[in-house]
Amino acid sequence: MSTYYGVNKTKFNTPIGSNIVDSGSNKGQVCSMYDSYEADGVTAASVIQMCDKLPKGSRVVRIEVIADDLGTGNTIDVGDATTVDRYADGVNIASAATATVFPSAAEIAGVGYVITGSSDDQLQIVVNTAAASGTIKMQVMYVI
């Protein structure tokens, strides 16, 4: 039998120099943000910025989007100005639902992503396919 080590476990085994694990990866503090928006005919391809900017060095660990029925066939992306679908791509919001949009296997590249503080710190929702009307609520949990 062999033993394998994850990236951070490897650093823990020899904690010197560049092998120090950042606080967002080990024993960090989980914080939460919440926001809501009352959409009234928001057109397709519109951007809705949500919550405050994320702190530099933080990592998003969970995003929930709660919405009314926003319109038949409508989908949203959740991301930032750098990557519009970093956290969710094409989430169906055609019926009233609570959706845990992140993490998901479809957006594995966003898992563990470290906020750099450039254009990736402002969370946004993009309404993709049709005009949307109704309440959209977002809860974001991140670690710093």
Q: What is the CATH number of the domain that holds 98?
A: 2.60.120
Residue 36 is assigned to a structural domain of this protein: yes
Q: What is the CA radius of gyration of the chain?
A: 17
Residue 108 is assigned to a structural domain of this protein: yes
What average pLDDT does range 96-100 have in this prediction?
69
Residue 132 is assigned to a structural domain of this protein: yes
What average pLDDT does range 14-39 have in this prediction?
86
Q: Which residues pair with 33 in a beta bridge?
A: 140
Residue 50 is assigned to a structural domain of this protein: yes
Task: Tell me the average pLDDT of the chain.
Answer: 88
Query: Domain total for the chain?
Result: 1
Would the pLDDT of 4 be above 80? yes
Confidence of residue 114 (pLDDT cuts 50, 70, 90): very high
Q: Report CA dihedral (46, 97, 52, 57) to the nearest 10 degrees.
A: -110
What average pLDDT does range 111-130 have in this prediction?
91
Domain coverage including residue 44: 23-143
Q: How many residues does the chain have?
A: 144
Q: Among 98, 101, 110, which residue's Cα sits nearest to residue 54?
A: 110
Would the pLDDT of 125 be above 70? yes
**pLDDT-above-90 percentage for the chain:** 48
Residue 122 is assigned to a structural domain of this protein: yes
Residue 27 is assigned to a structural domain of this protein: yes
